[in-house]
Amino acid sequence: MRFKDTHDVVVISESDAHKLIAAARPHWRLPLRILYLYGMRASELLGLSSNNFRDGIFVLQRTKRGELTRQAIHPAIKEDLYALMKTKLPGALLFPYSRISLYRQMQEAGHRAGVDPAYCHPHSFRHCAGRRWAKIGTPYQVQAMLGHKTLAMALLYGRLACDEDMSRKFLE
């Protein structure tokens, strides 16, 4: 997702992402934290079932012909995730919502939190995660985390990680 005027990629800031999650309705906080932590697409999130979580590992076949990813279950969601899974039948969807509902809930939470609506979109969380990972890992690691087939897409996040603070390093 890009801004029409500058063609810049829409990336929610870390602080705005936290504000949005905190302002979300209680039953929407866990799915939003998962979007934020794992850089998932809306359809990936909404397709999750207990089958995706085994032995402390989160296994996800990325969409758009992406790769299979295996990641640790983040401590920030572990307790809530397992509590939710106990309330569901094996294999049942964890978040049986529509993409439109997810988008609307993000818009409403963003409004309550005072976050610019342009950033209150599920894909902006994916870009946020990619940028966060690009600051601490290699393009190959970002590629693996996001499930990209090619390095070209993962390199985009390296460009997104070049923010104002980083640019000062090169401009001094």
Instruction: Provide the pLDDT for residue 164.
Output: 59
Query: Tokens for 87?
Result: 């309330």
Q: Which residues have CB under 8 Å from 24's CB, separation 6+?
A: 32, 105, 106, 109
Query: Tokens for 6?
Result: 């500058």
Query: Tokens for 158?
Result: 């390296």
58 has pLDDT over 60:
yes
**What distances in angstroms separate CA 100 from CA 43, 74, 105, 171, one per listed residue?**
11, 26, 9, 43
Highest mean pLDDT among 28-32, 147-151, 166-170: 28-32
pLDDT tens, 93-148?
999 999 999 999 999 999 999 999 999 999 999 889 988 888 888 888 888 888 88
Domains of the chain with bracketed CATH: 14-171 (1.10.443.10)
Mean pLDDT of 33-54: 94
Higher pLDDT, 10 or 52: 52
Instruction: Provide the pLDDT for residue 151.
Output: 82
- β-strand 57-61 against 68-72: which pairing, if any? antiparallel
User: Can you give the pTM of this predicted structure?
Assistant: 0.86
Q: Cβ(118)–Cβ(3) under 8 Å? A: yes
